[in-house]
Amino acid sequence: MNLSLNDAQLLVLQWVAEGGDLENPPNDTFKTSAVALDSRGLVALDKRRGRWSIAITDTGTFYLEHGHHPKAEASTPKEPARQKPERKGRFVKEVTTDVNSDQNAEPETPAKPERIVKDETIPMPDQVRRPHKALREIIDHKARLDVQTGQRQRALLILHALAQEATRRGWDVIATPSTFEVDQWTGRRARVYPGPDLLSIDAGDAPAAIRLKMQQKRVAHVPTEKELADKARNNWQSYPKYDYVPTERMRLEIRASSYEVLTLDDTVATRIEDKLLRAIEKVEQMSVDARKAAERRRQMDIERLEEQRRAQELRNRAARYGSWLKTLEQLRDEFVRHRELAEVVAGLREAVEQRGTKHEYAEILGEYLEWSKTHLEESDPFRRILLPQGERPDLSFDEWRDWKRQHPQNW
């Protein structure tokens, strides 16, 4: 087994040594690295009943102090194989001896491919000269740096290197200046810092917030006399079990949002200055992702508008079909009514004929019958057909019936 660790595994091991706070993991793949560390005996991992608990072992402490696993053997050069003396004799015998010796010889072990280490550095200045105005704000107010006093100059050099590289690539470096608030009672002005974001770098479409702070480790809380007295008086513990104290190692954060963060830490083997190219690549990738997201939203808007257009067109076609159908149904109703009226007029004619001309109301009945005939003839719906408005519908009956079934509220 390869007992050496990569940067991600080493970061998780350091995190476990500092207390292993599961609410603040060092990266998104810390569980995979934790399993690899457990297989090497560097940590004690317990995953029973779906709950994680992890603690560093003596072997893990040894690795952090010495930079290698205690079981790792130092590679020693092998002694060169002794050459067999040449045998005298006939030529055929010499050839036979050489073939046998080649068959009995152990095959040579293929050399392991050399590990290619990517250069992830960017030009690192020795001192801050002609700083960007965004960095000038921090230089003038170094209290904004959430690092130890002895680490402030190094933090400024890291920020200066990032700002120079961003400017060289034509990106925007955006300052996050502090503001002043006036106390309404005393009238004094107090400087207010905007937050932990020191500055932002925008590669074109998504600004990335830059933060610098010291890494923390978890230590057991030592209760004060007051806390012990409160515990004894109230019969419950009001103080935390652990405290988090800063270490000597620094952490650089490139934040796209609260859930998308690139973290670069000082480790036993590497420093933040050795990995600044990752920060630049992250800022660039954020803009690429933002452009892709904007393009996806644009395509979704186009598709949504196209769907709305097709739906409106279908509504118009269905409305045109419904208008023509309504006119046809009105004609049907008038036709049925006219046919029933014809039967009534025919019955009226028989009734008048049965009464004859000698009936006392024969004259008025005859006039009423003549008027009824005239009304029946003039009210014939096919005598004057009312046409629907608009162009001829291009929907089939099946398409219109399906649309009506899907949109019953419109009918």
Blockwise average pLDDT, block size 10, the chain, 411 residues: 81 84 76 85 79 83 84 51 43 39 51 59 89 91 89 94 94 89 82 86 93 92 89 85 90 86 90 92 93 95 96 92 92 94 93 87 90 93 88 91 84 53
What pLDDT does residue 371 have? 95
Query: Cβ distance 12 to 26 under 8 Å?
Result: yes
Whole-number Å distance between alpha carbons of 237 and 228: 8
What pLDDT does residue 107 have? 53
Q: What pTM does this model have?
A: 0.57
Beta-ladder partners of 191: 180
Q: How far is CA 220 from CA 53, 81, 240, 244, in A?
A: 17, 58, 9, 9
Query: Cβ distance 45 to 35 under 8 Å?
Result: yes
What pLDDT does residue 294 have? 94
What pLDDT does residue 46 have? 81
Query: Cβ distance 138 to 156 under 8 Å?
Result: yes
